[in-house]
A and B are shown apart, each in its own frame.
Chain A
Amino acid sequence: MIRALHRWPGLLALALLAVLSLSGAALSVFPAAERLSAPQPGAGQSVADLAALVAATHPGLEEIRRSPSGRITAWWFRGGTAGSAVVDPVTGGDLGPADPNPVERWLTNLHRSLFLGDSGRLAMAAGAAAMLVLALSGAALIARRVGGWRHWFARLRGPIAGRLHVEISRIAVFGLLFSAGTALWMTASTFNLLPDDAPRPPLPAAISGTTRLPIDRMAALRSVPVDSLRKLSFPQEGDLQDLFTLVTDSGTGLINQGTGEMLAWAEATPWQKVSETIYMLHTGQGAATFGLILGLLALSVPILGMTGLLVWAQGRRGWTHPKDNAPAARARDVILVGSEGGSTWGFAETLARSLREAGQAVHVAPMTSFDPNRYPRAERFLILAATYGDGDAPEAAKGFLDRLGGMRKPPAAPFAVLGFGDRSFPAYCAFAAEVDRLARAKGWASLLPMDTVDRQSPQDFARWGRALGDALGLGSGPIDFVDLA
């Protein structure tokens, strides 16, 4: 169930998630670059000081903005033309154009809407939802594979694709969960589903129409440090009824240009603050290092997609045949593998190699393809069986019990069962035990009593290997799983 919940969203959203993650990773670089290049204001500079400085160098000043990186931009209108520039908060001089970076804008539009407007936004939100489902189901699968949440960083075994998939995702999953969750929050905000609009201060009824006070003497601006500034809009030139509008990280205020006093103030709401914090963390605008980390973790998505695809393809083909696999018709040792996450295949490979080195003709196959008639020369069947969830057959062993139960006569060659599982689960090696029980009930000759390997323990596996070596008369030497220790 969880596996299907992981597989299908992953396959369906693969291309979309690759676009989302690569564009997101590329975008994470911009806030960091802006942070590094933005000149920082002198300590304790007030909005009044900054505004006076910029106004002196920019006649017709209409607005000053401070981006979360600390970059100050000025917007003015004089002589019939509008202008804007990034300004130095220390000197008030121009540093460069304030036009948005076209590459960043292109990437942003790709990242949030595929250039398709609202339908694109919804498609990308669906991608984020798929990411969320993938991250949660993936985390559950990791926990099951390593034997519980407490073993999150346990050593992994098994084929490379599956191992790489888990190795990367158990670190990246935290960032991906965060990016996907915040993306959905931001989409909900854009579509007005959250009550996070900034409250507007009430317009004062009457405004004393006196001429403008020098900006650096306005009390309401003197008390605000530049660090908390978002935006300061100037009144329209010549309109004595017009007001200064000040936006800071704590709210929005209207200031009388004649007295410099705050006439009205609207405090930012908790919803608004949560949304702003989420925006900051998702984009890295104002949290550049965090953004870079998220971007780096997002780079894992294409790799996870490729390795996931490989795992899926291998699972479909059952088992990629190892190089030295003896043909079924000539095999003396038949190793049947019932693997769920792929780790049991790794053990089967090691066992096959050891037996081959001892001069045996070994054939490895998934339990699903079990058919004694295919192995006329078989001398023994070695069954390595994992257990899926609560005692069910793993992916590679579906239908094995039915086939065994339906047999009129068991195979002539004896069998041995080795169960793989985790003692912290109640149904420890329950499927392997069921295989062993049914085989004995059918009168199949046993080579060895059933044994188990707890959490991929090399010691457990080596112990069984010695017992097998003794039973085969090979001694413990050849079947020595040194490469597992």
Chain B
Amino acid sequence: MKSLLATLALTTALTLPGLAMARPVTLTTTLNNYGGDGAYLAFYVTDASGAYVGSLWMAGHKSKYYEHLSSWYAATGGDAAQIDGITGASVGAGRSLEITLDLADALFDAGYTLHIDAAVEDMRDSPNEIAVPLTTAGAGQPVQGRRYIASFVYR
């Protein structure tokens, strides 16, 4: 499998008030061969009540197409400031994206959920392609997406 490694070290992706401790977390997303063009992926976190907390990464540069990441777009209104400095290239079918970022300790085992919205040109938009709770036990456990993501794992 072709692997596209976008290894990125971000100082603090999610700054929450009063959370000093953080740990490096690697998110590995592998797409299946869905037979379309490169996928746009939005990585973001919601709290226990389902409210949007912040964005971790945006794969895809053209803001024109962000509305197709419909859950992310509904939560943020497409606000470019949410993904300022954490935007990369879209991910081709069959390829992997690896992101390393510092996530606050307090996000784990506290009811937070990591979401990935996916969209591909001329194919169905897939909001909430992935929705996994952030837990220490869940680290290293691969999950499968609905339509485009073959596996996603954080550790």
Contact = CB atoms under 8 A, between A and B. Distances in A.
Interface stretch (B9-17, B19-27, B59-67, B102-110): B59-67
A77 interface: yes
A307 to B, nearest CB: 37
B48 to A, nearest CB: 17
A104 B123 CA distance: 14
Contacts of A84: 123-124
A62 B34 CA distance: 17
Interface string A9-33: 0000000000000000000000000
Interface string B76-98: 00000000000001000000000
A118 interface: yes
Interface string B105-119: 000000000000000
Contact of A100 (B89, B123, B144): B123
Given A190-B64, A192-B62, A100 B122 contact: yes
A136 B81 CA distance: 43
A82 B36 contact: no
B67 to A, nearest CB: 7
Nearest to A245: B70
Given A192-B62, A192-B63, A200-B67, A100 B36 contact: yes
A63 B70 CA distance: 14
A232 B123 CA distance: 13
A326 to B, nearest CB: 65
A261 interface: no
Contacts of A82: 126, 146-147
Contacts of A265: none
A109 to B, nearest CB: 7
Given A105-B36, A203-B74, A197 B124 contact: no
Interface string B38-70: 000000000000000000000001111001000
Contacts of A189: 64
Interface residues of B, number: 20
A105 B37 contact: yes
Given A62-B124, A82-B146, A118 B63 contact: no
Contacts of A233: 125
B69 to A, nearest CB: 13
A189 B63 CA distance: 11
A372 B35 CA distance: 73
Secondary structure dominating the interface of A: mixed
Contacts of A65: 124
Nearest to B73: A200
Interface string A380-401: 0000000000000000000000
Nearest to B36: A100
A99 interface: yes
A77 B37 CA distance: 21
Nearest to B61: A118
Interface string A55-82: 0000000110100000000010100101
Interface string A100-128: 10100100010000000110000000000
Interface in A195-217: 197-198, 200, 203
A303 to B, nearest CB: 32
Nearest to A189: B64
Given A105-B36, A203-B74, A75 B124 contact: yes
Secondary structure dominating the interface of B: loop
A52 to B, nearest CB: 20
B58 to A, nearest CB: 15
Given A82-B146, A82-B147, A192 B61 contact: no
A285 B128 CA distance: 30
Contacts of B146: 77, 82
Contact of A197 (B34, B61, B64): B64
Nearest to A99: B35
A118 B87 CA distance: 15
B57 to A, nearest CB: 18
Nearest to A233: B125
A398 to B, nearest CB: 50
Contacts of A192: 62-64
A203 B34 CA distance: 31
A351 to B, nearest CB: 61
A82 B150 CA distance: 12
Contacts of A63: 124
Nearest to B121: A100
A65 B68 CA distance: 15
Contacts of B63: 192
B24 to A, nearest CB: 29
A320 B34 CA distance: 57
B136 to A, nearest CB: 26
Nearest to A83: B147
A190 B60 CA distance: 13
Contacts of B89: 117
A191 B125 CA distance: 21
A197 B67 CA distance: 10
A109 B37 contact: yes
Contacts of A99: 34-36
B131 to A, nearest CB: 11
B25 to A, nearest CB: 26
Interface pairs A-B: 4 shortest CB-CB: A82-B147, A75-B124, A99-B35, A63-B124
7 contacts: A77-B146, A82-B126, A100-B36, A118-B61, A197-B67, A203-B74, A236-B128
Given A191-B62, A236-B128, 6 more contacts: A80-B144, A99-B34, A99-B36, A100-B122, A192-B63, A233-B125
Interface of B: 34-37, 61-64, 67, 74, 89, 122-126, 128, 144, 146-147
